[in-house]
Amino acid sequence: MENIALIDSFSEFKDDKLIDRVTLMAILEDVLRNALKKKYGDDDNFDIIINPDKGDLEIWRNRIVVADDEVEEPNQEIALSEAQKIEPDFEVGEDVAEEVKLVDLGRRSILALRQNLISKIHEHDNTNIYKQFKELEGEIYSAEVHHIRHRAIILLDDEGNEIILPKDKQIPSDFFRKGENVRGIIESVELKGNKPAIIMSRTAPAFLEKLFEQEIPEVFDGLITIKNVVRIPGEKAKVAVDSYDDRIDPVGACVGMKGSRIHGIVRELGNENIDVINYTNNLQLFITRALSPARVTSIKLDEENKRAEVLLKPEEVSKAIGRGGHNIRLAGKLTGYEIDVFREGAEEDVELTEFSDEIEGWIIDEFSKVGLDTAKSVLEQDVDDLVKRTDLEEETILDVIRILKEEFED
């Protein structure tokens, strides 16, 4: 392979990998110097001249002329008789510059050089991709579905970069087809070996926050601030918003007339139910708002242990807890308080734990997970609703109801 052919054979990288020619030449010189070190033991006395405009390459080896019997460093010194074959009038002590052709390195070295050059260019390309996407962490990005696997969807962007959307980062109702465009946030970027692993998420709270920024001008402009976002992806979310401008209603601005502004966000998230709540420093009021649509009678705060005892009318309890316990769980995450629900007139009620001799502990725990920890709280619920909200069989629930009813009949 001639020197000039080496540069020409890699012109594809300049176009395909968006690597500029000067950088390509710098990589080429680095690779050549490594090859020279392997062949001659050192590269300090070599000049490599690369002309990116003409696309040619020259390698010159510089040595000092010594007497024929005084050559100690063959890479640094050249015998007088050898030097005079290059130029008849060379004398001892003069510098000789001799051009080295790639063929002089040997076929194996040339093949190794080619592989090394390809590897270095890919490494440079991957480093640039890593830096590019590292700066995009936490930002919304879109890419096209390229391949659907059991544990992840592989996406490709317009530049051919591979982005991974793992199964656990997808909303449960997500269903994508090959060629479809997908939006999410760039959640993390890591270098695995020399290859960047770019992870997208559609379940992160930050994705919902960024959708608010994109869809609601007042949020984008900073007139409305998002104080906190909590989600059960695909099911329910709560967003606390605030504004420093008293003329702006932050909740109204985010929701829009008849939900017009938030509708697109809800659709993007698979019809996730989004509660937008006015933020306040008044903890009691904030917890009250977070438990919406339930109407709270009173709240008792334990700020040291971050707990709140909330008193509600019996008909408000199921609203506060929500389907599957989603409402009370998200209210707790949003406010940072563990919320305990109590019913008015609870003194006539009986804790479920009092029935531990008749009802197994794991069954009582299942009811507690959805906020049902007293006999009346269970009896107030519809059987079909209890089947949906808990992991209990209908037969088990009916048996528990029978036991509880017997207590009050007695």
Rounded Cα gap, residues 194 and 381, in angstroms: 57
Output the CA torsion sign for 316, 322, 324, 330.
negative
pTM of the model: 0.63
For 317-353, give the secondary structure using H, E and C. Answer: HHHHHCHHHHHHHHHHHHHCCEEEEEECCHHHCCEHH
Residues 214, 218, 224: CA angle, nearest 5 degrees: 110
State the CATH class of domain 3-128: alpha beta
Dmax (CA) for the chain in angstroms is 125
What is d(CA 35, CA 28) in angstroms, rounded to the nearest whole number?
11
Name beta bridge partners: 140. Answer: 185
Helix 205-215 to helix 260-268 angle, to the nearest 10 degrees?
140
Closest CA to 184 of 196, 172, 202, 170: 202
- Domains of the chain: which residue ranges? 3-128, 136-201, 204-279, 349-409
Q: Are 3-128 and 204-279 equal in CATH topology?
A: no
Amino acid at 93: G
CATH, range 349-409 = 1.10.150
Phi first, then psi: give them for residue 201, nearest 5 degrees.
-135, 140
Residues 136-201, CATH architecture = Beta Barrel (2.40)
Instruction: Extract the tokens encoding 127.
Output: 């480093």
The CATH topology of domain 204-279 is GMP Synthetase; Chain A, domain 3 (3.30.300)
Per-residue pLDDT of the chain (410 residues; tens, 9 = 90+): 444 455 555 455 444 455 666 667 777 778 788 888 888 888 888 888 877 666 567 888 898 888 888 888 888 888 888 888 888 888 888 888 888 887 767 667 666 667 767 676 677 777 778 888 988 999 999 999 999 998 999 999 988 889 999 999 999 999 999 999 999 999 999 887 778 899 999 999 999 999 999 999 999 999 999 999 999 999 999 999 999 888 899 999 999 888 889 999 999 999 999 999 999 999 999 999 999 899 998 899 998 999 998 988 878 888 888 888 899 999 999 999 998 888 776 556 778 888 888 889 899 888 888 878 888 888 888 888 888 888 889 999 999 888 888 876 65
SS3 content of the chain, % helix, strand, coil (to 5): 45, 25, 30
Question: What is the pLDDT at residue 21?
Answer: 66
